[in-house]
Amino acid sequence: MPWIEPPNWARLPIAECGEPLIPVPVGPPTGIRIHPLYYEAGMPGATAEVRLRSGVVERLKAAAATLAPHSLALVVFDGYRPLAVQQYLHDTCAADIRREQPHLTDDELIAAVRQFVAAPNSDPACPPPHRTGGAVDVYLVDAATGVELPMGTAADEAVAASATRSFEEAADPDSRRFRDNRRRLFHAMIGAGFTNYYNEWWHFDYGNQRWANVALSAKAVYGIPLDEK
């Protein structure tokens, strides 16, 4: 899998397969837990239920099964994302970056935002990855205690160190632990058919245009879900 994506994933065509959005199942049989981070933060439009395409859920189960023998559980904190939530995240990220880096030009600001938040585009030919139900954000916990494994940054933290490979050249013990934990998550998810967004260790795709771009597929199979509500 390439670490740097080919440019412009939105150029790829979508052949919508019609798979439904379903709630992510949780509990011991699946090895999956949910943590609706945006709902708990009171984000407008966010819900307590996390939904994904049915094919993505099956792949999550496969990834979780490879982690279970190591006493780890997979926590899903975001999946299908309505356009209103995408807009809110985009605007909030832009405001945070503008406040921290007021010298940026408008073009530089947009480029900085795009590292962490896709454009809240309403065009069905190039929907944001999360709106397709084919993008999922995850982290790992100790299955017995529920304690989150340290990854070097918080899940969803918009900083340079969140890039998946940030600790690959690690020398000190703490950094090596972050590297090893990221590798555990990465290999479980890639082994289940996902691709990873290289700027975010927690973000994985299947079926959407970003997945097709990284997997070098000619087309995506997930666009805007037919049962979007």
Annotated active-site positions, please? 200
Q: Which of 137, 134, 88 is nearest to 113 (CA)?
A: 88
Q: Phi/psi at 137 (nearest 5 deg)?
A: -110, 130
CA distance 187 to 178: 14
Separation CA 207–CA 23 (nearest Å): 17
| Cβ atoms within 10 Å, residue 41 | 9
Give 188's Cβ-side CA count (13 Å radius): 29
Host H or E run for residue 190: helix 173-191
User: Can you say how many angstroms the Cα of residue 196 is from the centroid of all Cα atoms in its chain?
Assistant: 8
Q: How far apart are CA 193 and CA 190, in angstroms?
A: 5
Q: Tokens in use for 227? A: 């049962």
Handedness of CA 157, 163, 168, 171 (dihedral sign): negative
How far out from the chain centre does Cα 219 lie?
20
